[in-house]
Amino acid sequence: MKTIVYKSDSRGYANHGWLEARHSFSFANYFDRERMNFGVLRVLNDDAIAGGQGFGTHPHDNMEIITIPLEGDLEHKDNMGNQAVIREGDVQVMSAGTGVYHSEFNHHPDKTLKLFQIWLFPNKQNVQPRYDQISIRDVAEKNKLYQVLSPNPDDQGVWIHQDAWFFLGNYDAGKTDSYTIKKAGNGIYIMVIEGEVNVSGTDLSKRDAIGIWDVESVDITASSDARILLMDLPMQMN
């Protein structure tokens, strides 16, 4: 088993007034040659967006983009004709493919929006751009990982062009869980959203993360009430 720990306070940081962002990997003005990606995981941004503010229309291509609101609601518009509000308890995905333009704004005029935006390299280039969002409220389970993303359109959650699976977990203090990798050669990246957990012997606090590879399974113990995001993804580019 090989591991790398990403402490919360070691992430890149930017404060633009309307946007407070923490970057797990090199992004925009934050550059660290040792933090370019974890396998196909290219971006994990932890954003806090002021009321009524957001990102104007901008392009993406050949990237799988996943957004998970943590607090508040996000307003989305794109050149495919999609206009939607992604609420806390939803997951949004865009396959940028051959190219897409979109904007994202805090839906509320006076409440801060907090979200994760995640970019994964796809396993297919120049696909037809697509957009989807789902509610995960009805599939959320307590003290057990529940799937919110996979490569299969027929599985629970959203799907993407990559052999990756995402799970959320909401745990009471003292509860334990385990996870077995879905595909040989994949690694696991776990971000602690809230609380404190121990992952296969490593203690992690709020917004700490750990990358694990050359392993078949991991054990998770909630040291306090905790919430985590687990990503099972290829370590090699397709």
Contact 143, 190 (CB under 8 A): no
Report the SS3 class of residue 76.
Answer: strand
Terminal CA-to-CA distance of the chain, rounded, Å?
22
Contact 104, 187 (CB under 8 A): no
Residue 10: φ, ψ to 5°: -95, -5
Structure tokens at 208: 């700490």
104 annotated to a ligand binding site? yes
60 annotated to a ligand binding site? yes
58 annotated to a ligand binding site? yes
Residues 6 or more apart whose CB falls under 8 angstroms from that of 11 comprise 22, 23, 24, 46, 207
Residues 6 or more apart whose CB falls under 8 angstroms from that of 115 comprise 47, 49, 67, 68, 69, 70, 72, 74
Within the chain, residue ranges assigned H as helices are none
Amino acid letter, 192: V
DSSP classification of residue 214? S
Binding residues are 58, 60, 102, 104
Binding residues for Fe cation are 58, 60, 102, 104
